[in-house]
Amino acid sequence: IKDISLMTGIKTEDIISTLQSLNMIRFWKGQHVVFVMQDFLKKYMSEQKRKKKKLRLCDGKYLSWVPHAERKKGGGGGGGSD
C-alpha cells in the first residue's frame, strides 16, 4: 500500500479506505494485505453492467503523470502549476 501511495501520490489512508469499501483488503500479521479474487472482479464488473454504470477503463499508453515529488526534482512535467 505504501508503494502504491508513493507511485500514485494518493494518501495511504485513502487507498486503505477504498480497498476496505470494496472488501479487497485484509489485516494479517500486523499488516494490511490486498486480497483480490478473480471471481470478485467478475462479480463487480457484472453488477456495474447490470446497474448500467459505465466503467471507465484507461489505457496506460494514454496516461502521462509525474508524482509531485518527482516534478520538484525534475523541474516540471505532468502539467499544472505547483
pLDDT tens digits, one per residue of 22-49: 888 888 898 878 888 888 888 888 887 8
| Cell reading at 12 | 495511504
Distance CA 1, CA 10 (A): 10
pTM for this model (two decimals): 0.47
First to last CA, the chain: 25
pLDDT in tens, 54-73: 666 777 788 777 777 776 65
